[in-house]
Chains A and B, each alone.
Chain A
Amino acid sequence: MQEQQHIKLPEGSIGKQTTTLNLGPTHPATHGVMQNILELDGERVVSTEQTIGYIHRAFEKLAERRPLFQITPITDRLNYCSSPINNMGWHITCEKLLGVKTPKRVDYLRVIIMELARIADHLICNSIVGVDSGAFTGFLYVMQYRELIYEIYEEVCGSRLTTNIGRIGGFERNFSNAAFEKIQKFLDEYPAVLKEFENLFTRNRIFMERTIGSGGISAERALNYGFTGPNLRAAGVDYDVRVHSPYSSYEDFEFDVPVGSTGDNYDRFLVRNAEMWQSLRIIEQAFRRVQEFKGAEADVYHADAPAYYLPDKKDVYTKMEALIYHFKIIMGETEIPKGEVYQSVEGANGELGYYLISDGGRTPFRLHFRRPCFIYYQAYPELIKGSMLADAVITMSSLNLIAGELDA
């Protein structure tokens, strides 16, 4: 006997009695504001309807009225778990458009910060996968080291989460000794912690049972869905922007690109863990190279681009040119050369792209963010179709959905 459904079911419903469940928009398991209307047959997911846009802030429109340097704080709020990568990506895009060449030391300092951000992001994602599968310990344990990374940001730029780190052309000031000490401390202590974190999960019977075989995707489908980053690499495609189109001197470093094979939650977890080890390797190399700069080179922290990089405050008071540039930059009166540029960086979630069109005015004519989250989240219904409700939750957290990046 078939009963009358009281709730309008999403398309593709089957004839028998099913349950409709609202997962989100504010649910502890969604880790952000997004809604999924799941149609459940018992505990199995039959279909999913997604609603996003709850924290849409019209960044692309806002950017059309701002001078370039005022767009950096907007990029913070895309993937706010690793804002430095977004900031650096934006600076690199601007530098490409403006034709600013950054010194090697700036590149290496950027690499250190970006890789720290990647570790912070992966750390949160992986430990949240643990939380959603019932293992809280790892999450609390590694939080301490995310805190240390945030302290490093704080030493470098003064803020922690939405960092607004760096400037077009480099950094606003040189790294302090405290910053270097903290980076050294991180390099010394973190490997043991990461090892312990892996011990907690990687061969944990319960964790393996929960994650192996759930939320999988083939390489072909992943490519068709526009997956990038760890999610694509977990499916077995070794595409990494840092290797394919190196930016910020990534070609100077030696690191591996870890790949998985099945693209399921377990593989995504392993790939992220392996990437943290590679990030550590990169930070170590970059740190060593930064220490190797001697003499005047050791104090370089920005490119020579007076029209775009704010002059020293003491110069502003004493030198005419510095005063003019300072005024023009702050008032947003610097003309941007006409051009069209696409630049991408390897964000923690995948290829984070900036498509910037300038018509020669003072603000971008059009700025589009390629947000990896937004693009791969549309595969979610396919990933969880036919799986258990509890697996749907883990799949969502192991995709590393960040609402800020999803909604722009």
Chain B
Amino acid sequence: MEITNEYIQQRLTEKFGDQVTGFEEPYGMLTFEAPKELNLKVLQFLYDDEVLKFRFLTDLCAVHYPEQPGRELAVVYHLHNLENNVRVRFKVFAPIAAPDVFSATALFSAANWMERETYDFFGVNFVGHPNLKRILNVDEMDYFPLRKEYPLEDQTRIDKDDEMFGRG
């Protein structure tokens, strides 16, 4: 059967009531969010359901919204039902003071490194992750570089001796 966005929304609302909110369809992809405590329940439901079958984790990443107090960090899952070729985007929001989100590694092996990468750049603490440590940056790093409070270097700065690189 063809799975429409309305159908997915209806099934999710049946199962989780008003816990699952924020339904949108930017550029055709159904997007919704849930409280962060429910992330595994929602993922498991989407995985196990005999019709929905979202069993392929395409992507997992985070976004930092400094202007949203209490929900600064969004963890974004892109899920794919390969049989019917439907994609959904699922978000959970966490406060930056305590960015604890349950790890999806038990469900998707692919989530292992993606969660490590997300931790590495945003400091999202994936509870239950088997090996949550930095992956691309050096272990000694003491900040999370993709957060918005770390700006890139000012391109017009002149106090740096960059003669060798043609900027001096």
Contact = CB atoms under 8 A, between A and B. Distances in A.
B152 to A, nearest CB: 5
B78 A342 contact: yes
Interface in B8-44: 26-27, 29, 31
Interface string B104-131: 0000111011100100010000000000
Nearest to B118: A368
B132 interface: no
Interface stretch (A53-61, A190-198, A284-292): A53-61
- Which size bracket describes the interface of B in this complex? 20 to 34
B113 A366 contact: no
- Which size bracket describes the interface of A in this complex? 35 or more
B109 A224 contact: yes
Given A96-B27, A226-B56, A341-B27, A374 B113 contact: yes
B112 A56 contact: no
B93 to A, nearest CB: 14
B111 to A, nearest CB: 8
B108 A226 contact: yes
B4 interface: no
A77 B136 CA distance: 16
A100 interface: no
Nearest to B131: A11
Q: Which of B63, B82, B89, B109 has the most CB of A within 10 A?
A: B109
Contacts of A391: none
Given A58-B145, A341-B26, 16 more contacts: A52-B136, A53-B136, A62-B152, A223-B56, A237-B82, A339-B27, A342-B87, A342-B89, A351-B58, A353-B58, A374-B113, A374-B117, A375-B114, A378-B113, A379-B109, A407-B136
16 contacts: A53-B137, A61-B145, A65-B152, A223-B56, A223-B82, A224-B109, A224-B110, A340-B31, A357-B63, A365-B63, A374-B113, A378-B109, A378-B110, A378-B112, A378-B113, A408-B136
| Top 8 closest pairs, chain A to chain B, by CB | A226-B110, A53-B136, A368-B61, A56-B136, A370-B59, A378-B113, A340-B26, A224-B109
